[in-house]
């Protein structure tokens, strides 16, 4: 005779058997469409195997939650933005959440986000990741427009705000590491190719370059830097311009790897030896940067991890319910990756 006090299987037990989240099991139970046929079949088989029967209470609780997160994004043509979205999407998938994406029409023009937020709320999203890069005042304006009944929002790569969770990358510190390395190998004339200065991260990298040089007693003048627009083509033209403006330059920090590719192209065409004549460090550590000619030294920053952490923090906020907690600020660190475009330190 079976023991009537034997522990009944739970949704978590089914999830563990199938290697999926409890939310995914809940979706199968409630005949949601956002589950793959293979996953549905595996979950249904596990339910049948253990004889799981969801209670009416469990069903009602599930129906109160949409299992959907929203993301507001802009600038998807830029690789860094796309990589962050990949991290967000992967983290949602792992947590068993659907993702509803709203893309701003323009990054460089302030947008009324109230209709966007209202659309997301109409789809009953449980939380929102604001992943549009900070460009001038766009993030501050967005924060001022959020309705009082807005679900939790996590902001990425923007100025701190004590009312919201903010997750940043240490752009200033990454630039500092690059410049300090140049100085450690004896390079004193360090130029800069910056990204468009409307972007907060471009300004932070430029500031890191400038502050580090000044801390070593090296003057920074208008002739030592130029701007690009993140593209390889702009990197090529910016490097050519900088060669004319700063003939003493023996090293250059370039604010992303794509612009660095353009700079290396011009160096090759003009017979400039990298790193003997000019040492080069980029920023992003794109997978392709290891295969540039020469391979590119660069600053690695965890763009996918940024998206993953945003989702994890958002889910914590959601699980916390209505309790209002102060916003948190998290800064992810960078790492200098040395390759053939820089000389190595003498041992």
Euclidean distance between CA atoms 210 and 220, whole angstroms: 7
- Please state, in angstroms and rounded to a whole number, the distance separating the CA atoms of residues 31 and 13: 19
Confidence of residue 109 (pLDDT cuts 50, 70, 90): confident
* Tokens 């679900």 sit on residue: 151
- For 283-322, write each residue's pLDDT tens digit: 999 999 999 999 999 999 999 999 999 999 999 888 876 4
Residues 251-276 have pLDDT tens digits of 999 999 999 999 999 999 999 999 99
Cα angle value 82/85/88 (rounded, 5°): 160
What is residue 57's predicted lDDT score, i.e. its pLDDT? 43
The predicted model gives 241-253 an average pLDDT of 98
User: Is residue 123 pLDDT above 70, yes or no?
Assistant: yes
pTM of the shown model = 0.79
Nearest to 44 by CA among 60, 59, 65, 30: 30
Is pLDDT above 70 for 324?
no
Rounded Cα gap, residues 335 and 332, in angstroms: 10
The domains located in the chain, with CATH, are 11-63 (1.10.260.40), 68-169+303-334 (3.40.50.2300), 171-300 (3.40.50.2300)
Q: What is the pLDDT of residues 207-243, one digit of tens each?
A: 999 999 999 999 999 999 999 999 999 999 999 999 9
Predicted confidence (pLDDT) at residue 112 exceeds the cutoff of 90: no
Spatial CB neighbours of 74, under 8 Å, sequence gap ≥ 6: 81, 103, 104, 106, 107, 132, 133
Pairing status of strand 190-194 against strand 165-169? unpaired
Average pLDDT over residues 83-98: 93
Mean pLDDT of 35-41: 86
> Which pLDDT score is estimated for 248?
97
Average pLDDT, the chain: 89
């Amino acid at each position: 005779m079976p023991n009537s006090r034997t522990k009944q299987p739970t949704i978590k037990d089914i999830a563990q058997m199938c290697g999926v989240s409890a939310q995914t099991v809940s979706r199968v139970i409630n005949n949601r469409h956002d589950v793959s046929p293979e996953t549905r079949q595996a979950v249904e088989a596990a339910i049948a195997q253990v004889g799981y029967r969801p209670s009416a209470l469990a069903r009602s609780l599930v129906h109160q939650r949409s299992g959907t997160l929203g993301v507001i994004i802009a600038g998807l043509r830029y690789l860094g933005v796309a990589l962050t979205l990949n991290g967000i999407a992967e983290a949602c998938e792992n947590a068993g959440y659907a993702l509803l994406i709203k893309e701003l029409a323009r990054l460089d023009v302030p947008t009324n986000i109230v209709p966007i937020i209202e659309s997301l709320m109409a789809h009953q999203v449980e939380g929102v990741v604001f992943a549009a890069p900070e460009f001038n005042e766009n993030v501050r304006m967005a924060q001022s427009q959020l309705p009082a009944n807005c679900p939790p929002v996590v902001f990425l790569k923007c100025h701190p705000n004590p009312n919201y969770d903010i997750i940043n990358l240490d752009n200033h510190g990454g630039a500092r590491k690059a410049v300090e390395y140049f100085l450690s190998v004896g390079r004193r004339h360090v130029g800069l190719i910056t990204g468009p200065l409307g972007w907060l991260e471009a300004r932070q990298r430029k500031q890191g370059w400038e502050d580090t040089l000044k801390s070593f007693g090296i003057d920074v003048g208008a002739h030592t830097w130029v701007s690009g627009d993140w593209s390889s083509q702009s990197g090529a033209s910016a490097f050519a311009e900088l060669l004319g403006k700063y003939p003493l330059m023996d090293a250059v920090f370039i604010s992303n790897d794509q612009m660095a590719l353009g700079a290396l192209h011009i160096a090759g065409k003009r017979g400039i030896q990298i790193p003997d004549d000019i040492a080069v460090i980029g920023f992003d550590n794109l997978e392709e940067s290891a295969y540039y000619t020469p391979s590119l030294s660069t600053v690695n920053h965890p763009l996918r991890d940024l998206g993953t952490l945003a989702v994890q923090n958002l889910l914590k906020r959601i699980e916390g319910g209505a309790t209002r907690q102060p916003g948190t600020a998290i800064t992810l660190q960078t790492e200098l990756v040395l390759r053939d475009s820089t000389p190595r330190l003498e041992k």
